[in-house]
A and B are shown apart, each in its own frame.
Chain A
Amino acid sequence: MDNAATSMRKPKEVTSAVTRAMTSIGNAGRGVNDASLEAAREIYETRSLLARLFGVKDPKQIAFTSNSTMSLNMAIKGLLVPGDHVITTIQEHNSVLRPLYELEALGVSLSIVGADEKGKTTVDDIKKAIRHNTKYIITTHASNLTGNALPVAEIGALARENGLIYIVDASQSAGVLPLDVEAMKIDVLCFTGHKSLYGPQGTGGIYVSEQLKMRPLVVGGTGVQTFRHEQPPEMPTHLEAGTLNGHGIAGLKAGVTFVLERGVEAIRERELALAQMFRKGIADLPGIQLYGDFEEELRCPIVSFNVGDYDSGEVGDELLQEYGIITRTGGHCAPLLHKHFGTESRGMIRFSFSHFNTDEEVAKAITAIKIITTE
């Protein structure tokens, strides 16, 4: 039950798509033979499906990357310059924080806004941090630690009103929460393929609005405009140097198709039902400390908690060894939110549910926690 780290159970269509791709497609954009064209077609189709999922008008504004971390590094290092002021939050993963800290050392200034006792950050918290030289707001769509969602549509509107660029980390939310870059006024969306889009690891992408010009982090072969010294300026080639992960993208296409066919809302309802069943089953047990706002309807299917005075790692190990339940424990790459909750040293036990988990598995997990809390 560690699907926020990666969705380990994939639809069978995903694995067969990867196998088919590995035995049939060539290098996209490197020729007009059937194998190369088939790779280019597969990649184009995937771009179009992702555009549909994220409300992107022009699929060409989506570039493929290897994961959210790469997309976030591309956005942060490709846009920010010394002298810029950036607002971010304590909700962020190290894939946002570390690139920002690196640029802070080079002269970018940073405001990191906090959260309330349930770990929620509001649009007003962000509004108060705006300065005369603020250029960017960077937030996650949902915390990988608590599952709490941020009000991205409100933050997007605030950013647009103030002429700021809004960058969103959708690692946890893509495929689970509603996403529409136009309606939510998101300028850059960074996502990964291997979580709730059910694709293989090593797939991900970045949407960049047409108005934005981003310096590419990596330049090189593109199969196009060979004699030009600079990386071609047109999207998506601008951000896609080198051979794309065509095999992985073929799997991602099958994953995104699965999500579109089932529907994001139906997937979320099922996953949240499992998460709420688990939360209700453990909430009143002795010594359970839950983190996050479970009243909110729009959230990710994550339940994080601690038991008595135990280290989260000890509980996680017990769950694994005695009950065969996989969870994530420790720091979850979210240092500031752990500081906020005072859990830097003990960490948290995180259960994160997938559409493929069953009621029986949840019941088994509740029983395991019951035994652990009463032993």
Chain B
Amino acid sequence: MRKKELKLVVTFHTTAEAMALEKAAKERSLLGRMIPVPRELSSGCGISWTSPLELREELLSLMEELQIEKDEIHEIMV
């Protein structure tokens, strides 16, 4: 198995929200990808977005700007 690293993980209520963030992040070349929701995180959509920690502010402002509704944002080992 890969060695885990501390990363940002964003969860969503619906797949549609997850897709909206993926599309927006790709358009702005923000590093990240979809991963299955880690078991430490309970609710939300079955897929989540993970990015390096330093992108936190950029991701949050992007979601606010495009009104993409997240469930939660966490910093966890993934």
Contacts and interface: CB of A to CB of B under 8 A. Distances in A.
Contacts of B14: 60, 222, 224, 232, 234-237
A371 interface: no
A223 B34 contact: no
B46 A30 contact: yes
A59 interface: yes
Contacts of A220: none
A262 B19 CA distance: 27
Contacts of B36: 31-32
B77 interface: no
Interface in A41-82: 41, 43-45, 47, 58-60
Contact of A237 (B13, B20, B33, B69): B13
A105 to B, nearest CB: 35
A234 B46 CA distance: 14
Given A29-B45, A31-B36, A225-B44, A47 B15 contact: no
Interface string B14-36: 11111110110000000001111
Contacts of A31: 36, 46-47
A353 to B, nearest CB: 35
A40 interface: yes
A345 interface: no
A97 interface: no
B46 A40 contact: no
What 3 A-B pairs come out closest when comparing CB atoms? A29-B15, A44-B19, A224-B45
A37 interface: yes
A60 B15 contact: no
A226 interface: yes
Interface in B52-78: 67, 69
Contact of B23 (A30, A41, A224): A41
Residues of B in contact with A, size category: 20 to 34
Residues of A in contact with B, size category: 20 to 34
A258 to B, nearest CB: 21
Contact of A32 (B17, B35, B67): B35
**Chain B facing A: main interface SS:** mixed
A234 B13 contact: yes
Interface of A: 28-32, 37, 40-41, 43-45, 47, 58-60, 222-226, 228, 232, 234-237
A29 B13 contact: no
Contact of B46 (A41, A43, A58, A224): A224
B15 A224 contact: yes
A224 B46 CA distance: 5
A90 to B, nearest CB: 38
Given A31-B47, A225-B13, A225-B43, 4 more contacts: A29-B47, A223-B45, A224-B12, A224-B46
Nearest to A62: B16
Contact of B34 (A37, A58, A225): A37
B19 A40 contact: yes
16 contacts: A29-B18, A30-B46, A31-B36, A32-B34, A40-B47, A44-B16, A59-B16, A223-B46, A224-B15, A225-B45, A232-B14, A234-B69, A235-B16, A236-B14, A237-B13, A237-B15
Contact of B15 (A58, A59, A223): A223
